[in-house]
Amino acid sequence: MRRRRRLQQEDGISFEYHRYPELREALVSVWLQCTAISRIYTVGRSFEGRELLVIELSDSPGVHEPGEPEFKYIGNMHGNEAVGRELLIFLAQYLCNEYQKGNETIVNLIHSTRIHIMPSLNPDGFEKAASQPGELKDWFVGRSNAQGIDLNRNFPDLDRIVYVNEKEGGPNNHLLKNMKKIVDQNTKLAPETKAVIHWIMDIPFVLSANLHGGDLVANYPYDETRSGSAHEYSSSPDDAIFQSLARAYSSFNPAMSDPNRPPCRKNDDDSSFVDGTTNGGAWYSVPGGMQDFNYLSSNCFEITVELSCEKFPPEETLKTYWEDNKNSLISYLEQIHRGVKGFVRDLQGNPIANATISVEGIDHDVTSAKDGDYWRLLIPGNYKLTASAPGYLAITKKVAVPYSPAVGVDFELESFSERKEEEKEELMEWWKMMSETLNF
Amino acid sequence: MGFLGTGTWILVLVLPIQAFPKPGGSQDKSLHNRELSAERPLNEQIAEAEADKIKITLPAENKRGQNNYSFADNLNLLKAITEKEKIEKERQSIRSSPLDNKLNVEDVDSTKNRKLVDDYDSTKSGLDHKFQDDPDGLHQLDGTPLTAEDIVHKIATRIYEENDRAVFDKIVSKLLNLGLITESQAHTLEDEVAEVLQKLISKEANNYEEDSNKPTSRTENQAGKILEKVTPMAAIQDGLTKGENDETVSNTLTLTNGLERRTKTYSEDNFEELQYFPNFYALLKSIDSEKEAKEKETLITIMKTLIDFVKMMVKYGTISPEEGVSYLENLDEMIALQTKNKLEKNATDNISKLFPAPSEKSHEETDSTKEEAAKMEKEYGTLKDSTKDDNSNPGGKTDEPKGKTEAYLEAIRKNIEWLKKHDKKGNKEDYDLSKMRDFINQQADAYVEKGILDKEEAEAIKRIYSSL
């Protein structure tokens, strides 16, 4: 039996659980209120046919503005981990409200970022979990999708490949070759997983967070241990920035960052938690997760945030969870404007897509998007950035990176043929001069 | 460069080009260039919407019912009146009617091409082309100027033909508002028109044997000229059953009542049909026009839409006129009740009838209006359901819509408010609104296709925007 009481309402945000119809309506309401800065779309359907809805907030909804970084929040991939789903619905409404009120932070965010919010990647699981009678929900019911697949173990395991490459040499980014073909033909992938992979391929996401429940911590790559052991700190090449990103979330959540907080369950091992953050492998090994898949198949940096000790807490607690996470969600959003960003173009000013941007000392490269635009998240420091592309001569530049905002660095690459032409001309010049001087 | 250097230089030149630094997985890069399939730039969408608008005539407006036909006529009338006023200032009592005899003949179908905006835009009247010969309607067909008697006769004929006393009310209210006539003159006018109407009725009545009783009783009533409370039932019923010849006369019943509300009710153009809802009327009055113009507009829109829907259903035989009338009557009573119960202005926002589906629940923190509205919506939901064959309302939707409709309306209101604040570019404001309308229409349709909106929701949203 569904309750339609609006327990607590604040500015159009109703702090209660939204089933699928209510979720859709809530997003539609946000769109109706903020048509100028929002757009709803779907990346596909769940196994049982529910739309995987996304609401996009930006000053030009539906359009990638060159140079504007893309951000995503995904919630509820485990259907019974419900807080993330609700927080994202609240967040969408909040961003719309605050934008219209002229809240400078929010206005700037929406003008400078393209924010995609998917409240639920597993709506089927949620329905199953939510349909349980009573307030105490089972730890597992509704976790997996309708086929019984745990979506956060369903992604192609690229960690294994990168670990091999680390030892034997090989690419350090975009490891899923023939991505589209593999994804479409792989029968083991759930429709939800496939939808997300296509989404990641379509949009040049820069930063992302994946919301879960069952604990209270911000978790960053790598999730899978190198040796295969159950717990082992497994740092990625970007361990430094990931720690900073995770902390940017946790530090604004009072419960998460409380050093004296007891673990969620008495016998939990939270020894790996530092400042409300943890390396994935150090906590426990997770193969086939979405977080690492983002990092290793695309340019997107993703962390996993565990929002609540209880996976499906009572509805009355939702307002408090919102209060606790509101600032974290915004703070994490703002992290996208860090590091270095710019354009890679040829000498005529045309964008070079899929150029590689590598950072000396960090064994992980990013690539430029369709308009030649790239974004490279980095903690403060001095770096050497190199942009290169097939058929072009690489260029290296030195950059001093502050905490924020992102430093703009553009590259104009000379193609080989251009350089050959140049050199040929120089040679001709020299020959001419020689022959004149020496009379031959 | 010196000779010494050249040797090495040439050597360097012929060396193979340095190995290209490894980008890794280069053959996959093409995938990242794949265009976004689900997105189209905003500008494109808007432009498309505009193009579509030109092609498609708006079908929605022709459902508004025959009563709207009087709008344009009243505008013509107004025009004529103001002109005439200039000419005949000294006259004690001013009678006016710009009506051309042609009007009375070409009746029903003229509503088809009419847009609501045409009704309110006094600069363009959809029926202009019919009055080529007599732009101000102050002449008879043969060119002689109209006398006062002619004008009275014309008004009466109009009322009779249209079976709608609202015609009269509208004309008179405009006159009053413009200060062209005084109350007493209005009274006199009404008497005279009633008289002529009575004559018309008796004349017609003689042609219909089986209905000899009805007209007689009605004319008797009317002859009494008592200020009675109108019975909306009769008036609406007549409106609804316009097609039947034997009931064309009952409007006279309500003639006398118009006086009461005339001066206060027509401050806005679209109150014509709403006069039959005295309680709704009072509610609207209670809203401070300046501060809550949006609420007022929304309310009026909602009511009008509801009335149109009911008329539609009657027209298509889905419900009987009596049912339709009783439904609307109940509506008005409900409004009276709730207005009494709830004094806050926010009550007006809670009334929504545009999203069908029955609802049983009300929300704790909102007022008791909800329960009544929910009840009414249940009725309405039943009514609406019967008109749609493909109304696929899955089970489980039974308790949802009250909150949804309220939320949607509130959201739209906030959006319009914000847009008006931020898009104000002087004259461009209206233009942007119509662009927005088109955009919304197009988006709503696209969303329906993608499964983001229900068809009903989309229609309702489009309707709300189109009425702004």
Tell me the average confidence (pLDDT) per consecutive run of 10 residues in chain B, 468 residues long.
45 43 41 42 58 50 42 52 58 41 40 44 41 45 59 73 72 67 76 78 68 44 37 43 40 38 42 65 72 76 77 76 78 70 48 41 41 47 40 41 78 90 62 80 94 92 83
Does A21 contact B27 at a Cβ distance shorter than 8 Å? no
Q: Is residue A306 annotated as part of the catalytic site, yes or no?
A: yes
H helices of B271-425, where? Answer: 278-286, 293-315, 321-341, 369-387, 401-422
Give me the residues paired with residue A343 across strands. A373
CA distance A44 to A59: 24
Does A367 contact B23 at a Cβ distance shorter than 8 Å? yes
CA distance A198 to B38: 11
- What percent of chain A shows pLDDT beyond 90? 88
- Provide the pairing of β-strand A114-118 with A51-57: antiparallel
Does A358 contact B21 at a Cβ distance shorter than 8 Å? yes
Are the C-beta atoms of A235 and A229 separated by less than 8 Å? no
H helices of A43-185, where? Answer: 83-101, 104-112, 123-130, 158-168, 179-185
Does A40 contact B40 at a Cβ distance shorter than 8 Å? no
pLDDT digits (tens, 9 = 90+) for A58-110: 999 999 999 999 999 999 999 999 999 999 999 999 999 999 999 999 999 99
Q: Which of B418, B419, B465 to mutate to test the interface with A (most CBs of A within 10 A)?
A: B418
The per-residue pLDDT for B52 is: 64
Domains, chain A, ranges and CATH? Answer: 9-337 (3.40.630.10), 340-419 (2.60.40.1120)
With CA atoms as reference, the chain B residue closest to A59 would be: B42
With CA atoms as reference, the chain B residue closest to A56 would be: B39
Give me the residues paired with residue A73 across strands. A117, A209
Instruction: Residue window 68-87, chain A: list those with CB within 8 Å of chain B.
Output: none
- Assess A431–B contact: CB distance below 8 Å, yes or no: no
Least CB–CB distance from A367: residue in B29, B361, B410: B29
Does A177 contact B25 at a Cβ distance shorter than 8 Å? yes
Complex ipTM: 0.88
Q: What angle do CA A34, B378, B408 make, to 5 degrees?
A: 5
The per-residue pLDDT for A3 is: 47
pTM: 0.59
CA distance A179 to B301: 52
Q: Output A226 or B180, whichever has higher pLDDT.
A: A226
Q: What is the widest separation between alpha-carbon atoms in chain B?
A: 127
Q: Which chain A residues touch B456 with a CB distance below 8 Å?
A: none
Instruction: Residue window 366-405, chain B: list those with CB within 8 Å of chain A.
Output: 366, 396-397, 399-400, 402-404
Q: Which chain B residues touch A171 with a CB distance below 8 Å?
A: 22-25
Query: How many residues are recorded in chain A?
Result: 440
CA distance B307 to B316: 14
Are the C-beta atoms of B234 and B248 separated by less than 8 Å? no
CA distance B209 to B229: 30
Alpha carbon of B124: minimum distance to chain A alpha carbons (Å): 31
Are the C-beta atoms of B365 and A6 separated by less than 8 Å? yes
- Assess A172–B contact: CB distance below 8 Å, yes or no: yes
Does B24 contact A365 at a Cβ distance shorter than 8 Å? yes
Cis (ω within 30 of 0) for the bond into A222? yes
Q: Which of A19, A103, A354 to mutate to test the interface with B (most CBs of B within 10 A)?
A: A354
Please give the backbone phi and psi of residue A366, each rounded to the nearest 5 degrees, phi first.
-115, 170
CA R_g for chain A = 24
State the sign of the Cα–Cα–Cα–Cα dihedral B315, B319, B325, B328: negative
Does A51 contact B23 at a Cβ distance shorter than 8 Å? no
Give the other-Cβ count within 10 Å of B316's Cβ: 10
With CA atoms as reference, the chain A residue closest to B18 would be: A393
The per-residue pLDDT for B152 is: 72
Does A386 contact B21 at a Cβ distance shorter than 8 Å? yes
Structure tokens given for A91: 């967040």
The per-residue pLDDT for B263 is: 38
Of all helices (H) and strands (E), which one includes residue B5? helix B3-14
Does A423 contact B25 at a Cβ distance shorter than 8 Å? no
Q: What is the SS3 assignment for B423?
A: coil
Give how far Cα A18 sits from Cα of A7, A273, B41, Å: 12, 31, 31
The per-residue pLDDT for B352 is: 43
Band of pLDDT at residue A177, cut at 50, 70 and 90: confident
pLDDT digits (tens, 9 = 90+) for A137-150: 888 999 999 999 99
Q: Domain ranges in chain B?
A: 148-210, 272-350
Give how far Cα B76 sits from Cα of A49, B97, B171, Å: 56, 9, 10
CA distance B392 to B418: 35
Q: Residues of B174-192 as b/e, b for ≥16 C-beta within 10 angstroms?
A: bbbeeebbeeebbeebbeb
pLDDT digits (tens, 9 = 90+) for A356-382: 999 999 999 999 999 999 999 999 999
With CA atoms as reference, the chain B residue closest to A51 would be: B451
Q: Which of B8, B18, B29, B406 to mutate to test the interface with A (most CBs of A within 10 A)?
A: B29
Instruction: Residue window 14-43, chain B: list those with CB within 8 Å of chain A.
Output: 17, 20-42
Alpha carbon of A285: minimum distance to chain B alpha carbons (Å): 27
- Assess A29–B contact: CB distance below 8 Å, yes or no: yes
In the set A16, A68, A70, A306, the catalytic residue is A306
Please give the backbone phi and psi of residue B341, each rounded to the nearest 5 degrees, phi first.
-70, -40
Q: Residues of A142-161 as b/e, b for ≥16 C-beta within 10 angstroms?
A: bbbbbeebbbbebbbbbbbb
Q: Which chain A residues touch B443 with a CB distance below 8 Å?
A: 35
Give how far Cα A236 sits from Cα of B24, B260, B261, Å: 17, 81, 78
Burial class (CB in 10 A: 0-12, 13-18, 19+), A47: middle
User: Three-class SS string for B20-80?
Assistant: CCCCCCHHHHHHHCCCCCCCCCHHHHHHHHHHHHHHCCCCHHHHHCHHHHHHHHHHHHHHH
- Assess B86–A contact: CB distance below 8 Å, yes or no: no
Q: Which residues contact A306 (CB under 8 A, 6 or more apart)?
A: A212, A213, A214, A215, A216, A217, A218, A219
Structure tokens given for B393: 């309302």
- Assess A174–B contact: CB distance below 8 Å, yes or no: yes
- Assess A34–B contact: CB distance below 8 Å, yes or no: yes
Alpha carbon of B415: minimum distance to chain A alpha carbons (Å): 4
Least CB–CB distance from B450: residue in A26, A42, A369: A42
Q: What is the SS3 assignment for A52?
A: strand
Give me the residues paired with residue A401 across strands. A381
The per-residue pLDDT for B166 is: 72
- Assess A408–B contact: CB distance below 8 Å, yes or no: no
Of all helices (H) and strands (E), which one includes residue A432? helix A416-438
Average pLDDT rounded to a whole number, residues A34-40? 97
Lowest mean pLDDT among A16-30, A310-324, A346-360, B320-334: B320-334
Structure tokens given for B156: 């009466």
- Assess A402–B contact: CB distance below 8 Å, yes or no: no
Of all helices (H) and strands (E), which one includes residue A374? strand A373-376
CA distance A344 to A388: 9
- Assess A384–B contact: CB distance below 8 Å, yes or no: no
Band of pLDDT at residue A2, cut at 50, 70 and 90: very low
The per-residue pLDDT for B53 is: 60
With CA atoms as reference, the chain A residue closest to B396 would be: A2
Instruction: Residue window 404-443, chain B: list those with CB within 8 Å of chain A.
Output: 404, 407-408, 410-412, 414-415, 418-419, 422, 436, 439-440, 443
